[in-house]
Structure formats: C-alpha cells, structure tokens
Amino acid sequence: MRLALAVDQSEEPEQMQVLGAVLRDNGGIEALLGILRNPELGDEVHQSALLVLGNLGSDAVDKHADLTRARLKSFDGFARLLEHVQSSSDTTLIYALGAVQNICSIDPDFARECRGKHPILDWLTSLSQSENDRITHYAVGCIQNIERTNEREDIKEEEAAQAAKLAAEVAGAVPIESR
C-alpha cells in the first residue's frame, strides 16, 4: 500500500525512475505479478499492485518504462492485467483498466495481443456502456489505445515492406513478399 501511495503521489520524475529501477532490479515486478495471481489477497492489495504496474509501465511516469514492460512480458504480466479487467470490484476494474490503458498506448506487443477477435475487446466494448462513468472512460481509452497502437504498428510494417521492396528493386533483386 505504501508503495502504491509513493507512486500515486510522486511528482518527481527522478523519484519514479529510481523506484522503477529498484523494483525491476530486485524482483519487485515479479512480486507485484505474484500478488495479482493470488485470489486470496484482498481487492485493495490487487488495486495497489495494478496502480504501481500501470504507472511504472507508462513512459509518462518513468522514462525507463520500456524495461518494466519487458519484465511484464517475460513473466506473462499482460495476462494478469487482463484477468483483472474482468474483476467484479468496480475499483479493481478501474485500476486494471488504467494499467491496460497506460501500457497498451505504448507497447505494440500488448496491443497486438488484444487485437482482432480477442475476447477482451468484447469485454471492453461492453464496459464502455457501463453506468459507471469512470469505467466507461477507461474502457473507451483502452479500446482507443489498442486501436491506435495497432494502426501505428501496421503503418510501420507497411513502410518497412515498401522500403524493402524499393531496396530490392534498386538492387535488381526480386522482392520477398512480407505478408
């Protein structure tokens, strides 16, 4: 709980970078994911873990958030976040949505994981119709960030394919289709 308060109340970017580094270097990310895996812990404990992970996974909070996101990936952290997006507790749900919104706005792997016919999109769409304005706000934000990130990555892939095709043509080689 104190860790969540420190993250939530800090206005010093340097403090967040130090805190992120300490957590990453000392098994803190794995411990927070362990908290999320344990259904016997109370909602407040899960909420605190979600707040910390969501903030430290955001470039706006920690300029080394990419390292946090890499740790999340290596320990199946995205699945833990997505599990909590289906929480029966509105407050836990809001924290989970905030974490997903923060991370999928930046991380193409996470956004790709949520792409297409993934059941989480159906769930987020239903949450976007919630009577709770905060849930609606975060659910819509998640959907928008997933879509924007995937569109951005599709454009990058298309540009890379076009560049490879052009390079092959210039070199006189036959281009290899990228898809």
Position 177 scores a pLDDT of: 66
Terminal-residue alpha carbon distance, the chain: 47
Per residue in 63-80, pLDDT tens? 898 999 999 989 989 889
Instruction: Indicate the angle between helix axes 43-56 and 90-104, nearest 10 degrees.
Output: 10
The percentage of residues in the chain with a pLDDT greater than 70, rounded to a whole number, is 91
Per residue in 9-37, pLDDT tens? 666 778 888 888 999 999 999 999 999 99
In the chain, what are the domain boundaries?
A: 2-169
Please say if the pLDDT value at position 116 is more than 70: no
Give the whole-angstrom CA distance, residue 82 versus residue 127. 13
Average pLDDT over residues 40-45: 93
52 touches 62 (CB < 8 A): no
Q: What is the dihedral of CA 29, 33, 34, 37, to 10 degrees?
A: 180
Q: What CATH class has 2-169?
A: mainly alpha
124 touches 142 (CB < 8 A): yes
Within the chain, where are the H helices? 2-9, 13-25, 28-37, 43-56, 65-74, 77-84, 90-104, 108-113, 119-127, 133-171
User: Token pair of 4, please?
Assistant: 């969540």
Three-state secondary-structure class, residue 64? coil
Band of residue 169 on the pLDDT scale cut at 50, 70, 90? confident
Average pLDDT over residues 157-167: 89
- Identify the residue with better confidence: 43 or 172: 43
Model pTM score? 0.82
